[in-house]
Chain A
Amino acid sequence: MKLTEFVVADAVITDLQVKTKDAAIRAMVASLKAAGVLSKEAEESIVAAILKREELGSTGIGNGVAVPHTKHPSVDRLVATVAISKGGLDFASLDGDDVYIIFLLVSPPDRPGDHLRALENISRHLRDQTFCKFLRQSATVADVVELLGEVDGQG
């Protein structure tokens, strides 16, 4: 499952301006809606579900990275977006550090395998400091998409 297969290019945010975890999640879900992959009706419910998931434990998993996510019946395939915060934001991360890179995933309830494979792919790249550095330096959506495409090509 390649990054470019589930990361929606039109929803990528290269300069996330918000300062809180809640606002970041709202902005990213709104971006997926604006890109046409989430319905307007489902938006609030998806935000609420992701915030509820965060209450179980932050998806800020260290390395300046967070992976907020939820299952939601309004999608029939896994969709995701990436946001980069240049200044970093408090995500209540497990290591206590600020978060600069956020991958947000919404997956269909009946496809736990896809969710695992997407997490596997994202984690494999996010543990690589060079990838994180390049991602944080991406100035445009085209830069992000090119970088994702490049690492997809590496298998």
Chain B
Amino acid sequence: MSTRVTATVTVPGENGLHLVPCSLIAQNATAFSCEIRISKGDRNADARNIFDLMTLAAGQGAQLLLEATGDQANEAVQSLVQLFESGFNGHSHRTHP
């Protein structure tokens, strides 16, 4: 059975969804097997794709719809909501040596 979970979040931070938040979202989303889409109005992005996420050009205060479909959809949405609510702080970047 396919589960679909949605949530609405507000973009924090004066810089909006710039490259650091987009990387964090993609990194976070990659941990889940379900499909995760993020949309702003009629623009829609694959949450695992940094390029896609940046094309949302979501500034501070923009309302985004998170939508996960499949296994762990609930966990995935919760995890992303938390990331937005944290203001993208306290999450370290994945780095390659």
A58 touches B95 (CB 8 A): yes
B52 touches A119 (CB 8 A): no
A115 touches B18 (CB 8 A): yes
Say what secondary structure dominates the interface of chain A.
mixed
What is the interface of chain A, defined by CB distance below 8 A to chain B? 56-59, 61-63, 67, 69, 92-94, 96, 112-113, 115-117, 119-120, 122-124, 126-127
Of A92, A119, A126, which contacts B18 at CB under 8 A? A119
B65 contacts the other chain (CB 8 A): no
Q: Using a Cβ–Cβ cut-off of 8 Å, how many residues does chain B contribute to the interface with A?
A: 25
What is the interface of chain B, defined by CB distance below 8 A to chain A? 14-20, 23, 26-27, 49-52, 54-60, 93-96
A119 touches B54 (CB 8 A): yes
Known contacts A62-B50, A127-B49, A119 near B19 by CB under 8 Å? yes
Known contacts A61-B23, A69-B19, A119-B18, A112 near B59 by CB under 8 Å? yes
Residues of chain B lying within 8 A (CB to CB) of residue A62: 50-51
